[in-house]
Structure 1
Amino acid sequence: MSRRAADLDRLAASVTPESLTTVLPEALRALGEPTGDLEALEDLVHAFNRGEREAQAVQSEAANVATKQVSAVWTGRAAESATAGLVSLAKRIDADAGTFTAAEQILSRTADALRDSHRRHLELRQYLIDLENQASTLPEGTSTPAAADLANRAAQALRDGSRLINTTREAEESAAAKFRAFTEGGAFGTMAFLAAASGDTREPIEEISKEYQVSPDPDGMSRSPTDLSGGSLSNSGSSRRR
């Protein structure tokens, strides 16, 4: 996509009244067809929405069993242990539902941007075709006020096309980066992913790790630093470094 945008910028800089009939066909080739599979993206939005709703239903049922049904028929330490386990399960499912929600939000915004991009792309393509048709009616090799105006409009349209392609590429790269934060972010991946979905701007994962003196683990956990005596600081007991 960067190459296509660069080609359009190059053509915009080179268009003249005399070169309209050769530049515009080349510009249409450089603009190409809209990129991105909007239908597949919308299917993903619906899939994550369905996953969110189903996870919330399971979480609600687990919480209901833990807080009401177990205590109604079972008492004692074993019952307390079972209740604690169900509460923990409900919390994990709730976190999963939140991740589904975050994914849906990111994909939904990306789909909206892509839908708008497709519309503008097709409108611009038709505009360039109209300009090409107008250029074909001009006398060859002459520079008239009408030809100069047409060349100016063509140059502006090509610059608009370049910006549109770059904007679409940046939106796709932004969505991909947010998903990479979740899949490759180690201990803080989910936190960064949820923050990105909400539009919150947070410190990069590397900065968070440095501040709290922990390092990512390949298994998705975090490694605590060691204190001066050589013991490992527990996550629950460690204090934020000043």
Structure 2
Amino acid sequence: MRLTFPNGEHAAVLVEHGQVGVGSAPGGGTSVAVPGLAPLHAVFASGRRGYWLTVPAGARVVLNARPVQRLAWLRPGDLVCLDTVQIRIESDTPPPAPGMARGPLQASPLRQGLRGLNGNWFGHCRPLSGGPLLLGSGSACDLRFDAPGVLDRHAVLEPIEGGGWLLRRLAGTGLLRVNGHALSEVELSAGDQIELGEQRLLLESPGLPPPARSERAAPPPSSSEPEAEPVPVPRDLGGIYLLIAAAAALAAALTAFFVYAPRG
């Protein structure tokens, strides 16, 4: 998971297995310091079960325009707001270019659809069939969105051979992101999060897990996208401390037995 700051408050941060605290005061669980936040404003974590966000009591955190009270699961493409500081969640590497397999080919699922994650589309799912499908805010579009930043003819979904969809940006100035990465054309897979302007969508394929992405080196960072800096990840030392405490208690008990036990 990669944390990027669209407004430049901090360099991009790579979160590997473990957790990273974001706040205004270094130390005390905060490893990424950003002025203007609570001392520890939020904790981003990555593990075998995925990505998640924990929020201390009283901290103001919004995920995709919805407030978070304690805990929220994250996916690449999410936008997290810590007060006025925006943090975009990106996948470790961009989706592969069209024609580059993400993994073993899979049969086309019986159903595929786009589910809205915000705005008027929130909670609604539109089944995908036929095609090509025009996406935008215009009246001639097959899928219409009224969110800010969505252009009249923003993008097109084109079916590809063997199942699946190719998403292609039409308007030169329109924003298109997949899993947090700005792209002009991408072959979609189940679980991908799409951004058209401020509209967020999730490609769903019930019964089909997201395919494993192919193991390949990440492209070199461009001048406009600096390389993410890894941060130290705190380890869980609770087990070690318990073992030390148990050993100390056992040593004290043995000492008391041999010193104070009655002698025959």
TM-score, reference length from structure 2: 0.18
Structure with the bigger RCO (C-alpha within 8 Å, sep 6+) is 1
Higher helix residue share: 1
Higher strand residue share: 2
TM-score, reference length from structure 1: 0.19
Structure showing greater radius of gyration is: 1
